[in-house]
Structure 1
Amino acid sequence: MTVGQPFAPPEEIRTPSVSASGDGHAVVGPIELAETTTFIGEHESDGGNFVVEVYNEDASGGTPDEVVFNQIGEFSGEARADPAGIAWLEIEADGVWRLEIE
């Protein structure tokens, strides 16, 4: 027996530029990411974590393929990552956050 996650329907897959925002934990996706993708993130916090992890849709296991941000406290910054393919982003935050994927 083989067990696996279903793939996202093609009509639901977004392509950059993608904007997302929230307050606390969230999952964003599916997004079709290029070989090199720029992530711009902001986090309003009094000392809590801001973590953005990329999970490639065709990967298996429970570990992220890329950790884009792992910051403590208030944060504003940019990072590049190479997570090519259809992916989901998991955001862990203790406050308001914003994310731009380009």
Structure 2
Amino acid sequence: MLIEENQFLKNNYKLLETCLSESVYQQILELIEGSPSSFFHWKVIEEKPNVDVYLIEQNTLEKYTVCHLFSFDQIGRDFSYQSLPLKQMNFFIQFASRLDIT
């Protein structure tokens, strides 16, 4: 189930706090505040008890785009985090699509 999808506005990301665990929210907040020249697009998907947060960081000034993925369950405080440049993410998608796997 899609919880929320939007573009971050620098001073208006409190809405995301209601969807996430405190530890994931703090980590995302650090990413946003540590990259003042970036724009962020996000999507939160919940499939109980798991929650996945897709965060795309686009920085046109420094010419990069990074895909951040946070995943956690609603049971504990632990979460997993992965980050890949968009170029690597696209390669990975193309590679996986050529394989006979599901």
Q: TM-score, normalised by structure 1?
A: 0.28
Larger strand fraction of residues: 1
Q: TM-score, normalised by structure 2?
A: 0.28
Which entry has the higher C-alpha Rg, 1 or 2? 2
